[in-house]
């Protein structure tokens, strides 16, 4: 297909002013925040997924947030809700490309998993894409405790409910 050739970028001959100034060597530190800290610690220490509930808006935010983004209320300690580790599949996709656009050796399935009123974005495994359906129940599979570092990927993946 001729038009595909035009999609290709011609980046081979780009004239660089200096190799020295080619990169942007800045590394950032990210603070998970008050809500993020507890959310990630509960995953790491207790294999639990927590949200925060705004009683006025009747929304349970997952991942947990310190404040309600609808009504601007601060969701204090008593608003923490254990939403369980079983969610429903809100949507899914099969990623055929690596982050840099190169083809993946093994495509990965990525799901948007509804927990409380929020979504977690994570891999779906132990299933083929053909067997997935929007609305089906999926369970979180955690990494072994010793491998958990306080990150979203302490959850290894989600799998369809057996």
Please, what is the minimum distance in Å from the beta carbon of residue 153 to another protein? 5
Residues 6 or more apart whose Cβ sits within 8 Å of residue 61: 51, 52, 53, 54, 68, 69, 75, 116, 117, 118
Total interface residues for another protein by CB under 8 A: 51
Residues 61-120 that bind another protein (CB under 8 A): 61-63, 65, 69, 90-101, 108, 110-112, 117-120
Please, what is the minimum distance in Å from the beta carbon of residue 91 to another protein? 4
Distance (Å, rounded) from C-alpha 43 to C-alpha 40?
A: 5
Please, what is the minimum distance in Å from the beta carbon of residue 92 to another protein? 6
Strand partners, 82: 50
Residues 10-49 that bind another protein (CB under 8 A): 10-11, 13-15, 24, 28, 30, 32, 36, 40
Distance (Å, rounded) from C-alpha 10 to C-alpha 89?
A: 40
Length of the chain: 162
Residue ranges binding another protein (CB under 8 A): 1-3, 6-7, 9-11, 13-15, 24, 28, 30, 32, 36, 40, 59, 61-63, 65, 69, 90-101, 108, 110-112, 117-123, 129, 134, 151-153
């Amino acid at each position: 297909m001729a038009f595909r050739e035009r999609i290709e970028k011609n980046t081979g001959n780009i004239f660089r002013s200096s190799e020295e100034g080619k990169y942007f060597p800045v590394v950032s530190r990210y603070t998970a925040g008050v809500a993020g800290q507890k959310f990630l610690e509960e995953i790491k220490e207790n294999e639990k997924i927590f949200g925060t509930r705004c009683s006025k808006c009747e929304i349970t935010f997952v991942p947990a947030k310190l404040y309600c983004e609808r009504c601007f209320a601060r969701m204090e300690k008593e608003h923490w809700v254990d939403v369980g580790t079983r969610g429903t599949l809100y949507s899914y996709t099969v990623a055929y490309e690596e982050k840099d656009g190169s083809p993946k050796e093994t495509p990965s399935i990525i799901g948007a998993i509804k927990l409380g009123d929020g979504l977690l974005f994570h891999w779906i495994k132990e299933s083929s894409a053909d067997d997935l359906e929007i609305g089906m129940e999926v369970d979180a599979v955690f990494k072994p405790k010793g491998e958990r570092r306080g990150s979203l990927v302490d959850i290894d993946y989600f799998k369809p409910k057996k």
